[in-house]
Amino acid sequence: MLREKQKETIIEWLKQYCYGHKNAKHLRVIITCLNINERVFRSITSELKHDKFVASTTDLGYWWIMDPLIGDSEETRGEIEAVKRSWLDYKSRAMSMLTDCDKALKEWEDKARVATQGQMLLDLKGAQNG
């Protein structure tokens, strides 16, 4: 129940003060104004990002995506480009995380292989001595 109330508060605040990329606000400003826990804010805005209501970039901050995006105005093109940049930023971080995961998996696979080979050598030596 509290989370739904916090979500509604975030939605209303973003719509009022962060409508469109030109009104984006940084995380510290938002959580200070809303007096909300950073982890809660990030969790809720993550949902809103996936539902394509909110966008964010490191340089601009968070904003409520303008809706509807109609016409070929400079404002519409700017908003679309900002949202695309947001998703490219998100994709870049995800790809970096996947690369880190691949490296970690390889390290642990190497450790498993070394451990298995070490055990095989111990078993072989034990059979020879037995």
Structure confidence at residue 121 (pLDDT): 63
**pLDDT exceeds 80 at position 19:** yes
The string of pLDDT tens digits covering residues 29-45 is 999 999 999 999 999 99
Structure confidence at residue 4 (pLDDT): 93
* Domains of the chain by start residue, with CATH: 2-129 (1.10.10)
Structure confidence at residue 124 (pLDDT): 63
> CB of 83 within 8 A of CB of 55?
yes
Cβ neighbors of 76 (< 8 A, separation 6 or more) are 66, 69, 70
Could you tell me which of 6, 1, 83 has the C-alpha nearest to residue 49? Answer: 83
Give the mean model confidence (pLDDT) for residues 88-114: 93
pLDDT category at 117 given cuts 50, 70, 90 is confident
The string of pLDDT tens digits covering residues 45-100 is 999 999 999 999 989 999 999 987 777 889 899 999 999 999 999 999 999 999 99
Structure confidence at residue 123 (pLDDT): 67
What's the residue count for the chain? 130
